[in-house]
Structure 1
Amino acid sequence: MKKITLLFLLAASLTACKSGDKKAVNAPENLSPEEKQKVLNDTASYTSIEWIDPIVQNLGKLVKDQSIEVSFRFKNSGDKILLIESVSAQCGCTIPEKPEKPFAPGEEGIIKAKFNGSGQGTISKQIYVKANTSPAKDHTLTFTGDIQEK
């Protein structure tokens, strides 16, 4: 009976040790343009992204000609470095900020955009994000609102 118990404990400890063998991946602060392009082109370097904030946000009532900032938080939920290749907007009234740094696995970041609505009525604006992510490289973030007179 002691041999069986000892064998069980040995097997359990070996299994527990194996689960800790994952290599930590640290994102370098800066990558050269060539290194970035290599990561973006190599599908083996693709990771996954988790949107912490909803990808569709209703901002409610907005004041005409007032600038607002919207943000979308994300997390690198994969096991490779996450690079945001590009961030663009549907029109000139929305100016997005592209995060320049690489994100290590588990690291969080924010995509921000400034919106200045000079029109009036209901709006729906898109921000397009391209990253080294699988299964899709392209992500669409949307914010809506209702622009009203002051």
Structure 2
Amino acid sequence: MNKRMNLLVVAALFLLTTACKKETVNDKAVTLDTLSAQRPAAEPKPNVLPNYKVPADGKYPVITFEEEEHDFGTIQQGDKPTYEFEFKNTGEADLIISSARGSCGCTVPEYPKTPIKVGESGKIKVSFDSKGKSGETSKTVTIMSNTKEGSKILKIKTKIEVPQKN
């Protein structure tokens, strides 16, 4: 028991003496936390685009969709319906869509790869593969762009019927 306590005290003293380092910066003593300096940097937020900076003029594009949700209605299992979400750049700068990702492999979006000028329109085509699925289903597509918000979520939904076997 005594050996265990001594070991614990030695370990605590070791951590206290190595965890912080004093440095002098502009003639002031500063304590640096060397343990936190060794930690990996935090992961960037998913809606923050590393290649985009805040515009110097403060003008952003705005992506305005005619509708942000589409219902395919009732479809048969194995059908592959598609829908085009139409949008317009109603902001004050060119709109750049950097990616569009479906919530699963069955939902595949296609998006414009070139900048959309102010006042221009575009389409994001979403294809849904219902193979192996049944019942009420809803999926999302996340659009990453250089808008102030950084992302937009579109939704699709459907009811999938399984064909009767004779």
What is the CA–CA distance in structure 1 between the aligned matches of 2:54 and 2:161, rounded to whole Å?
46
Residue type matched to 2:91 in 1? Answer: G
Counterparts of 1:76-91 in structure 2 under 5 Å?
76-91=89-104
Cα deviation for residue 98 of structure 1 reads 2.3
Q: Which runs of 4+ in 1 moved over 6 A?
A: none
Which residue pairs with 2:81 in the alignment?
68
Judging by fraction of residues, say which structure has more helix.
Answer: 1
Which residue pairs with 2:134 in the alignment?
120
What is the Cα-based RMSD across aligned positions, in Å?
1.7
In structure 2, runs of 5+ residues without a counterpart are: 1-48
Aligned residues between the structures: 111
Q: Percent identity between the aligned chains?
A: 29
Counterparts of 1:1-150 in structure 2 under 5 Å?
40-44=51-55, 46-52=60-66, 54-118=67-131, 119-134=133-148, 136-150=149-163
* Structure with larger Rg: 2
Deviations 1:39-80 (A, max 9, x none): x5122153111112x111111101110111121111000111
Cα deviation for residue 137 of structure 1 reads 0.8
Deviations 1:103-147 (A, max 9, x none): 01000000011111121100000000011112x111000011100
What is the CA–CA distance in structure 2 between the aligned matches of 1:49 and 1:115, rounded to whole Å?
23
What is the CA–CA distance in structure 1 between the aligned matches of 2:80 and 2:114, rounded to whole Å?
26
Residue type matched to 1:126 in 2? Answer: T
In structure 1, runs of 5+ residues without a counterpart are: 1-36
Q: Is the 8 A contact 2:143 2:151 kept in 1?
A: yes
What is the CA–CA distance in structure 2 between the aligned matches of 1:104 and 1:148, rounded to whole Å?
42
Query: Scaled by the length of structure 2, what TM-score is found?
Result: 0.63
